[in-house]
């Protein structure tokens, strides 16, 4: 039987050459660049429901539109 997560569990990970601190809590998961105070937090329910993935895809879509040669509202 797995051990329940009752408090924070921190681990260091490397992603794309950057060192991050992964913190697992009963509420969710946080990824923070090492040496920094703020990072990205995802709740377990957001991860399970797919909300976090949907938000990431929407952000990528908006960023791609901004960098394209799309007409502006001024035109």
Q: What is the pLDDT of residues 9-23, one digit of tens each?
A: 999 999 999 999 999
pTM for the structure as a whole:
0.67
pLDDT of 24 above 90: yes
- Strands lying side by side in the sheet with 18-24: 9-15, 18-24, 28-33, 40-43
Cβ-contact 26, 39 below 8 angstroms: no
**pLDDT of res. 20:** 96
Q: Cα(52)–Cα(58) distance, rounded to whole angstroms?
A: 10
Q: Name the band, by pLDDT with cuts 50, 70 and 90, for residue 71.
A: low
């Amino acid at each position: 039987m797995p051990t329940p997560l009752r408090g924070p569990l921190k681990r260091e990970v490397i992603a794309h050459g950057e060192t991050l601190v992964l913190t697992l809590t009963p509420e969710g998961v946080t990824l923070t660049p090492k040496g920094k105070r703020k990072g990205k937090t995802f709740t377990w329910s957001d991860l399970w429901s797919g909300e976090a993935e949907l938000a990431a895809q929407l952000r990528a879509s908006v960023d791609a539109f901004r960098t394209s040669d799309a007409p502006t509202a001024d035109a």
